[in-house]
Chain A
């Protein structure tokens, strides 16, 4: 019998997770790249051996699977090769760090009014992403933690594995206001004490920080055998400046102003931004950190699915 806590979002409506998304996420899974450290048995490979095995489910045999896991009885009955899934995998803990600094507020209703097209802010996009990932991970029995940060940790929800935990995450995301400046590397350092057990660290931010400082802190997590995933969320008008005759740009965090004609500086801006992104990519690749650039113009389910497929290929999973 399934516990209420195990029934997703029963009788609840949430901004960042709806039925449609749930249906989309049903077929996705988030796997750990390496072994995880978990106190509980889960889907993921564990460092620990010799634990009692509890049969949980079958799945189709795929070439490469361990033939010792083939359930011959099912084969005798059905002439199908299936694998017994046992709870010999350990539960994975995933730490979501979501940026809620002022820079993440870019986009959304103001853009819709001015440019006359549907738009989503970076924070909203990050929240959609976080919600989807949270559900995904909780669905597969992993544990999810949420940390909201600006210039420091704003809100932290320790890891949990129930769907009521998911509701808490969703409510926290919905309630959070974006403000404050960004100081990602400082927050990562601060959060180190909160993220005790190794797992997957997923940072969802616009990553507007000094790359050297950022990766220096991430190196610390890598040293602790964390798997790090970076989702850089940028608005389409950050990736390419809007077409305006004259614009007075105001820094969302410092309030500094700069007047310019976007047409005149578009190419140079793109060059500068691309250079920064290339730096992040290179530094992430060097550390085998997953880096994914996400534009708010791309629907997040599509972006997430794309990432999942790429991740699966990288991890060698089917």
Chain B
């Protein structure tokens, strides 16, 4: 049985009975003081004087020697007790209840980094196995792999070592970002009712990007913590961290720029070739020079002559961490600019503003000649799916927006979409207020609509008094006199909200005619007029069509959004409408089937992959043909392999003395952590030193 006193673990406490041996020097000391012989001496006068002079030295000599000799025995005795210096979190004294340990093993992408033939994951497995090797009779373990969700071998710590060892052996890297907080919460919950001493053992590379925000405060104070860092001290890694497409939704023959960011997470400069490749197509190459600890951007310029969805990859040479050396993306090239027109108006009416608007968007009879194509949906069919395919959304003459439609519109805006809202209809003011409320602060209107103005009964009209020709939308109309000739009869009076949004057009009476504001990553263009001939003669003017096209062009997202997703998060795309008779098969990048969902709509079908576990292209097949795909990549945060050191972990965990840190991820380090650092040889050395001191004292004091 071992005994823990403070931080010292005694492996042979039974030998403490040898403490009686410490009395030996004292007994010898007393025995060597022989029975004094009596001498009748003439006079004690000089003896007394001498003794007073010498007593201190006499006592000192004998006491010193007694102490030193006792110390020698005490040190030898202590050495035989086999003491070890334990860190907090180490093994506790044996008890019937044993030890309950939950091993939290990091299986994030960075654990795959290879150096000197090993990876942090292989080291983590060895460490976890070594922990099990120190299994005591009553000890119980559990393994939780830290992924996006904690993956636990058992519901609570168990003594089924066979299954635990198997799970450790079979643990593999997940390319998703670990949710450390969830793993800690799970471990704490499992240990809550556990008997005996409780331990949580963290085995990880302690990547700064993942661990710096870890919250240890919820761990109960009676749980000991062990931190076992694995992986190299300084890891070099280069990664492709981002791929962006400009413009975000390019059309055929349009100049497209694929912007790639490459990061160098090392302390030396790198010169790397970077390659862009589309499936079964030629590749584009460049050379990059990247300074230490920095990121560079480079662009590939190309034109696509055929519309479609292209699976593209950008990659750099492989290094220690391969998963981030390439990045997947989907390039959607549209034949035309897709404009979604949301309206509740009857388009069949001659003077219908929407009808005129749609005609302006696509003036050609045949779509093949059009630069933009309008798709019309009523406001109650406004969903994420219908919005996903649109490059610009035009809202005109709609009834009161439902909450669902409003949220879909706001989500679309937040994710970088562009919306043009002709809000002269009776519900316009109300809808704008609703959108502002539902946006929870994302949308602040640049003006407040106060009352509807109708100048037509008086036969009057308003003209545009001011215009912001610096804006992309109006730039081309700077020299055009027709803008000022436009007549507007029906609009809202406005109260300007200062410093919100940008005013593009103003009526001559001061009311705002057109304003632009941002909502998240997207743009909302508010038009305080209608295309309807009842409201204005805009549609009759020759600049109507070019104005609409400049609006569409100016609002098209410059940067594409969601050309890729991160591993672990649900991802989606839209494909062509799927007939009921057709079956869709979903496959992961390796070709194996995977779970997927469909949401069929009139204009398209939304495809959802609820769970992605690896990088690559997840595809939806109709027959043998790929109907749609999503690109999934590792989180760029996993590429920065900088790790927290022990002092930072101590600071972060705030566990104080109940935390132990593994010095080296090998058998010796684990032994030292669990069994403590042996002290017996230090004690023996000290005993030898004391013996030498005793000899020196004997000689010196005798002199």
Contacts and interface: CB of A to CB of B under 8 A. Distances in A.
The DSSP consensus for interface residues of chain A is mixed
B116 interface: no
A105 to B, nearest CB: 8
B33 interface: yes
A248 B37 contact: yes
Given A244-B39, A249-B41, 20 more contacts: A103-B42, A106-B40, A208-B43, A208-B45, A235-B42, A238-B42, A242-B39, A246-B37, A247-B36, A247-B38, A248-B39, A249-B47, A250-B38, A253-B42, A259-B36, A260-B51, A264-B58, A268-B51, A272-B46, A276-B46
Interface in B44-98: 44-51, 53-54, 57-58
User: Would you list the 9 A-B pairs with minimal beta carbon distance, nearest first?
Assistant: A268-B50, A103-B42, A269-B50, A248-B36, A246-B36, A272-B46, A265-B50, A249-B41, A272-B49
B40 A252 contact: yes
A258 B41 CA distance: 10
Given A264-B54, A265-B47, A265-B51, A106 B36 contact: no
20 contacts: A103-B43, A206-B43, A235-B42, A244-B39, A246-B34, A246-B35, A247-B37, A249-B39, A249-B44, A251-B41, A251-B43, A252-B42, A256-B44, A260-B51, A267-B50, A268-B54, A269-B46, A272-B46, A272-B53, A273-B46
A99 to B, nearest CB: 11
Interface of A: 103-106, 110, 114, 122, 206, 208, 235, 238, 242, 244-254, 256, 258-261, 264-265, 267-269, 271-273, 276
Contact of B49 (A104, A254, A268): A268
A247 B39 contact: yes
Contacts of A264: 54, 57-58
Contacts of B54: 264-265, 268
A114 to B, nearest CB: 8
A251 B36 contact: no
A44 B51 CA distance: 50
Contacts of B47: 249, 258, 260, 265, 269
Nearest to A111: B39
A273 B49 CA distance: 10
Contacts of B49: 268-269, 272
A247 B51 CA distance: 12
A286 B45 CA distance: 25
A250 B51 CA distance: 14
A245 B44 contact: no
A244 B51 contact: no
Nearest to B48: A258
A132 B175 CA distance: 121
B441 to A, nearest CB: 94
Interface residues of B, number: 23
B37 A106 contact: no
B41 A252 contact: yes
A258 B37 CA distance: 11
Nearest to A235: B42
Nearest to A254: B44
Contacts of A268: 49-51, 53-54
A122 B42 contact: yes
Interface centre among B39, B45, B49 (most CB of A within 10 A): B39
A104 B51 CA distance: 23
B42 A106 contact: yes
Contacts of A106: 40-42
A248 B34 CA distance: 11
A264 B39 CA distance: 16
A246 B33 contact: yes
A39 B37 CA distance: 55
B658 to A, nearest CB: 55
A254 B49 CA distance: 17
B49 to A, nearest CB: 4
A190 B36 CA distance: 40
A244 B37 contact: yes
Nearest to B61: A264
A261 B58 contact: yes
A276 B50 CA distance: 13
Nearest to B53: A268
B542 to A, nearest CB: 129
Nearest to A270: B50
A250 B53 contact: no
Contacts of B48: 258
Nearest to A269: B50
B42 A272 contact: no
Contacts of A114: 37
Contacts of A259: 36
A264 B47 CA distance: 11
Nearest to B49: A272
B32 to A, nearest CB: 8
Contacts of A276: 46
Contacts of A238: 41-42
A224 to B, nearest CB: 30
Given A256-B44, A258-B44, A250 B50 contact: no
A246 B41 CA distance: 14
Contacts of A251: 40-44
Nearest to A242: B39
Given A258-B47, A268-B53, A250 B42 contact: no
A265 B39 CA distance: 15
B35 to A, nearest CB: 7
A98 to B, nearest CB: 16
B567 to A, nearest CB: 86
Interface string B475-498: 000000000000000000000000
A105 B49 CA distance: 22
A158 to B, nearest CB: 30
A264 B41 CA distance: 17
Contact of B50 (A206, A256, A272): A272
Contacts of B57: 264
Nearest to B35: A246
Contacts of A256: 44
A7 B51 CA distance: 53
Contacts of A208: 42-43, 45
A104 B42 CA distance: 7
Nearest to A238: B42
Contacts of B58: 261, 264-265
Nearest to B38: A248
B462 to A, nearest CB: 124
A272 B58 CA distance: 18
Contacts of B37: 114, 244, 246-248
